[in-house]
Amino acid sequence: MKSSASGDGRRKLRPSTLVEISVLGLGCVVLGYFTCREPAESASAPERGARVFAAPRAAPGGGSAELEQNRREIELILSGVLAGAARGDVGDEKRGQIQSELLQLLERRGSGRPETRANAAGMIVQQLFDRAKLASVTSELSARQREAIPAMASELTRQLLMLAVGASPGADALPVSLPEGYTKLDWKQLGGFPYQEGGALPAEIRALNGQRAGVAGFILTLGESEGMREFILLESLWGCCFGGVPDVNQTIMVRLPPERAFDYTAAPVLVTGTLEVGEERQGQFVASLYRIVDAEAHAIQAAAPGG
């Protein structure tokens, strides 16, 4: 089925797009940040060599104020790691210390069980360092980097706290409110069947075609980070790195009209529009199975468990 958003002005994807997406880990959030670099600007940055990942300690508690302080401490640690990795100040020798910092804060918070806390801290730190190895370093942070780091740290904190209690950090767990008449898409339903190229789709999936729908997810850019009219939406930023590469039925192509162009954000986004279901090919490749066209996108602020 041909997209209703198609036209002479629409940029065509290269046939190898989905292959490249797989190789790059399908847009994990830290890679998204590192690929949005600008030339360094003269604004000041934290001194090189500083202990950028340390956070002040709050006394153990249990009230909302203590939980919020705990969350802020985690965000501060992750912000420091992101900034330090970007400048080349934080290397593998810091991995154990950073993981210990996060684990101590999860213990003070009382999140989950010892094994889920350890698993959560390990996954976050592993992802940070794996993505950092793919990026070049810069002596100073650009304005965009300084703006992106807090948003990224906030989202990573949400995912850490979800993982710590054994919950999925994916977008299906995000509370969203859709306009009247819109169907909320379920990632587990969209990707819950074995996709075979050219094969028949389940009846309940075919029935979604043409519906006005909405879904929360995370952005994978197609090379542009400002004024985007097309991007790929993913349910989780971790599945590609700690499970398996998402299949074509676990991604959604999003197409916005020119007047709704959207800038990249590391935060989760809510996308609404008209859903198209069916294989869209580019050459010999299936470029997408799901498309939301005439779309709107809005960043959403996601709360983590316990504040």
Last residue of a domain, which of 167, 193, 222? 167
Whether 29 shows a pLDDT value over 60: the answer reads no
User: Are residues 157 and 233 both part of a single domain?
Assistant: no
**Residue 89 in domain:** yes
For residue 175, report the phi and psi dihedrals to the nearest 5 degrees: -75, 125
- Same domain? 201 vs 286: yes
Residue 10 lies in a domain: no
Reply yes or no on whether the pLDDT at 28 is more than 60: no
Q: Is residue 91 part of a domain?
A: yes
Q: What percent of the chain has pLDDT over 90?
A: 40
Q: Cα(304)–Cα(124) distance, rounded to whole angstroms?
A: 15
287 neighbors 13 (Cβ within 8 angstroms)? yes
Burial class (CB in 10 A: 0-12, 13-18, 19+), 271: buried
Please say if the pLDDT value at position 61 is more than 80. no
- Could you give the CA distance from residue 171 to residue 239 in angstroms, rounded to a whole number? 12
Say if residue 125 is in the same domain as residue 206: no
Mean pLDDT on 64-92: 88
In terms of domains, do 116 and 214 share one? no
Supply 302's token pair: 């996601």
Domain count along the chain: 2
Residue 6, in any domain of the structure = no
Last residue of a domain, one of 167, 189, 210: 167
Instruction: Identify whether 134 is part of a domain.
Output: yes
Structure tokens at 84: 């330090």
Q: Are residues 191 and 66 in the same domain?
A: no
CATH number at residue 285: 2.40.50
The chain-wide mean pLDDT, for the chain, equals 77
Position 302 scores a pLDDT of 60
Token couple for 134: 């793919």
Nearest partner of 23 among 240, 237, 230, judged by Cα:
240
Residue 135: pLDDT band by 50, 70, 90 thresholds?
low
Q: Residue 188: give the domain boundaries.
A: 17-26+172-299
Considering the domain boundaries, does residue 266 fall inside one? yes
Could you say which of 147, 167, 187 is where a domain stops?
167
Of the candidates 109, 130, 151, 87, the one whose C-alpha atom is nearest the C-alpha of residue 300 is: 151
Residues 3, 273 contacting (CB under 8 angstroms):
no
